[in-house]
Every structure is written in structure tokens, then in C-alpha cells.
Amino acid sequence: MRITKIETAVIEANYDWTIVKVSTDTSIAGWGEAFFAPGLTGVIREFNEFLPGEDPRDVDRLARLMRTAMGATGTAGMGFHAISGVETALWDIVGKASNLPVYQFLGGKYRDRVRIYADCHAGKGLSSLSPVLLPRTPGWAQKTRGAGAGEKWRKDLSERVELSPKYHGGQKSEARKIRPQDYARHAVVMKRRGFTALKFDVDVPSEFSLDDYNRSLTRKEIELMAGLVGTLRKAIGPEVDLAIDCHWNYGVNDAIKLARACESFDLLWLEDPVPPENTDAMRRVTDATSTPIATGENHYQRHHFRELLERGAVDILAPDYQKVGGLLEGRRIADMAEVHYVAVAPHNISSPIGTMASVHLCAATPNFLALEWHAESVPFFDELIKGRKKPLIEKGYVEVTDKPGLGIELDEQAAYKYRKRGEPFFDQPA
């Protein structure tokens, strides 16, 4: 069996869902997904220079070959996103060719269903960010001239698109008031849907912020954030786990103050309190509070996770399997965490393809805690699925499939409706 070509398509959802399709000289093709990055599909398609002609079942050697090919771009970053997408597609091929589910190749399963935690926000609709983290209205949601009856779906969906908050500086000037009762209402809805763990952002712009850039938190801001957590805890009760995310925004001292202010609410974790580059800074926060600290979504390959774990800088590890360099690399990272008795709660902002790939690895990971689902606001998440029952997530869990490969196919017709303009759609040029 030989690889013949590697193709990509981008679905414009809350992020650019970047889908990889690897074809072979048999009827088998594999699906993978890569974490978004500007220019990413061009990088993935470069692999057509050397992967065709290779046996797709030599997964680890081919992942190493791709790392070598990307060597001049460094040891982290979007080259690893590209490798992750292709590596996953290779596992899908291996599974389909041998009539076994992918988890069998990652050590076999520990569980028949994988616990999902829902990343939540207070809004009602889809908010979408471009690959450089700017708010956007997806192309499919934009009005087209001469729209006919077939455009009704577009109108219905575009009414559910909200403009995202700005990630770049200037948050203070655009402060949108987050109302604790909106968070609480949403949390109760998600609890009713069966989720046993929820995550909310607490790094929201507020009138109490004095500076966008100095990583400081005012006393009023900490009060507001702890109040948000308290309102959420009260709304969902003690039986649903609650995590909060800070997106690397704060300095060590104020991060510690925030983590301590949340201690009485018994959080599942506080995520990314300080920037990811300085392991000792993260360790200082982790050491100073009983609130568990999670990080990992901006780390790549096992080498970068080693220091985090060996230094005891983290309580819960959150690798992103569409980013770290592939599913086998993810398994190695989870194993390293296991050596330190650290649980793994993978980050995941993917379409059903990447989510299902992560599910296979989570099923095969003894020290697995919960897998993120970030797409609650994407109205067409389940529409993209073929080849298994929908919805993918039921009552807060994904059932682990025994079907060969990933056990999920992309509905290309559905995906085409939400494709990103200006990007190739598999064999169709941009």
C-alpha cells in the first residue's frame, strides 16, 4: 500500500477547522485534522513533495520524516499542527486496512465511553476567529447577491453568528459586561444536557481593568472573577465539575491571588494563569495554591512537556492532539504524565474528525480525566459527520466505536457548504 496524495479543506467554524485527507493506491483514504494556523494548508500540501510512494502504515517513521522536513522551522509551532493532521490520517488508514479501531494501535481501550467537558461562554450564537485571532463573519454567513430559496439555511445560520470579543489589545476600551447570571443560565443548560464538567473563561474585559498589557489584576477584578466562579458553583451544585481559563494573561503574583480567591469553590482546574514559556513561573503559581493548575495547549512534542512535568509545574496536563505532533506523540506525552501521577485533560477545538481522533487516544489513556468540546455554538457540528450515529456527544460522553480506523467519515457535501472561501476543497482548487 502506498500514499498517493495529501489534500486539505478548511471549514469556517468558530475557528478554521483544517481537515486533511490522505489517499492511497487502494480504495482506502484517511482523515485527520490539524489545529488552525495562518498558511497551514500550504504547509500540509508541501508534504506531497516526499510522502507519496511511502507505505502509510509506517506511521512513526513518516512522522519523524515530517519532523525532519520541518526541522528548519524549529521545535514547536505550526509545522507540528501539519504533522499532527497527517499522522492522524495515517492511523485512520492503518485501522481501515487492518479492520481495527485506531485505539487498538495506541494500547487498546480502558473505557467504552469518553467523558467530555464543555467549554462554554455566555453568548447564544457562534462567534468566530480568523487564524490571526481577529473576529470575523464566516464567508458562508455573508449575504450573497441573488440569494434564492436555497439560501434560507444561510440566513437562518447567519442570524446565529455573534462578533467575537477581540483577542488583540484594546480589550478595556471594548469592555463587554459579562453578567454572572448569563454564565449561570448557560451552565444550568449544559448540566441538563448531561455534562459532568464545564469550563468558562474568567479573563473577560471589565470596567475594573486598568491596563491591557501589564498582566496585572485589580482587587475589583479578582472579586468579579471569584464572584463569577461562586455564581457558577451555586448554579450547578457540587456534582458538576467546574474549570476556568485565563489564557496566559496574568503575572505570577496576581495569578496566585486569583487562584487563592477561588480555592473555596473547589475548581477542577484553573487553566493557563501565566504565559506558557516560563516553566518556573507556572510552578510558582502551582505551588502557591490548592486550586489545581492546568496547562499544555501551547506546548509541542514530548520534549516540551518533559520540563513541565519534571519541575512539578502542572497539576493537570492539557495537550492538544491536533497540535503536539500526532496521536502516538500524544500517547507518549500522556505516558510521561502518568509517570508523575498527573491526569490528562486534552485541549480540543476541533471538528468531529479531530474530536473523534482524540477520543481514540483518550480511550487508550489510563490517566485520562476529560476531553474538551469547544463547538457547542457551532450549529453544523453533527451535520459534518458520516459513518456513525449522531449526535457525536450524548449526555456528556462520546461512545468509543469499534469501527475500523477513526470510525468516522467527513460528510464532504455538508463540509462544502461551510468551506472557507479562497482555500482548496480537497481536489478542487481555491
Footprint of Mg ion on residues 216-245 (CB under 5 A)? 245
Measured from the CB atom, the residue of 107 and 276 that comes closer to Mg ion is 276
Q: In sequence order, what are the beta bridge partners of 372?
A: 117
Q: How far is the CB of 246 from Mg ion (least distance, A)?
A: 8
Q: How far is the CB of 108 from Mg ion (least distance, A)?
A: 29
Measured from the CB atom, the residue of 271 and 329 that comes closer to Mg ion is 271
Binding mask 140-179 for Mg ion (x = CB under 5 A): ----------------------------------------
Residue 140, CA distances (Å) to 13, 129, 161, 340 in order: 10, 14, 11, 46
Q: How far is the CB of 317 from Mg ion (least distance, A)?
A: 13
Kind plus residue range of the DSSP H or E element containing 173 = none
Q: How far is the CB of 88 from Mg ion (least distance, A)?
A: 21
Cell of residue 379, nine digits: 450549529
Q: What residue has cell string 507505505? A: 55
201 binds Mg ion (CB under 5 A): no
Q: How far is the CB of 247 from Mg ion (least distance, A)?
A: 6
Measured from the CB atom, the residue of 92 and 271 that comes closer to Mg ion is 271
Residues 10 and 17: beta-carbon distance below 8 Å: yes
Measured from the CB atom, the residue of 199 and 257 that comes closer to Mg ion is 199
Cα–Cα distance between 337 and 263 in angstroms, integer?
A: 24
Cα–Cα distance between 303 and 282 in angstroms, integer?
A: 17
Within a 10 A sphere around the Cβ of 74, how many other Cβ atoms?
11
Q: How far is the CB of 224 from Mg ion (least distance, A)?
A: 20
Measured from the CB atom, the residue of 245 and 254 that comes closer to Mg ion is 245
Q: How far is the CB of 270 from Mg ion (least distance, A)?
A: 11
Measured from the CB atom, the residue of 296 and 407 that comes closer to Mg ion is 296
Q: How far is the CB of 90 from Mg ion (least distance, A)?
A: 28
Cell of residue 356, nine digits: 473523534
Q: How far is the CB of 321 from Mg ion (least distance, A)?
A: 14
Residues 225 and 267: beta-carbon distance below 8 Å: no
Cis peptide before 319 (omega within 30 of 0): no
Q: In sequence order, what are the beta bridge partners of 266?
A: none
Measured from the CB atom, the residue of 140 and 248 that comes closer to Mg ion is 248
For residue 47, give the amino acid letter.
F
Q: Is the dihedral of CA 97, 98, 99, 103 positive or negative?
A: negative
Measured from the CB atom, the residue of 32 and 296 that comes closer to Mg ion is 296
Which residues lie below 8 Å from residue 225, measured CB to CB, with a gap of 6+? 202, 217, 244, 258, 261, 262
Class of residue 49 by CB neighbours under 10 A (exposed 0-12, middle 13-18, buried 19+): exposed
> How many residues make contact with Mg ion (CB under 5 A)?
2
Q: How far is the CB of 177 from Mg ion (least distance, A)?
A: 22
Measured from the CB atom, the residue of 12 and 245 that comes closer to Mg ion is 245
Cα–Cα distance between 67 and 45 in angstroms, integer?
A: 15
The residue nearest Mg ion at its CB is: 245
The three-state secondary structure class of 421 is coil
Footprint of Mg ion on residues 240-299 (CB under 5 A)? 245, 271
DSSP strands (E only) in 25-91 = 29-34
Within a 10 A sphere around the Cβ of 299, how many other Cβ atoms?
25
Measured from the CB atom, the residue of 326 and 346 that comes closer to Mg ion is 346
Region of residue 219 (phi > 0: left; psi between -120 and 50: alpha; otherwise: beta): alpha
List interacting residues with Mg ion (CB under 5 A): 245, 271
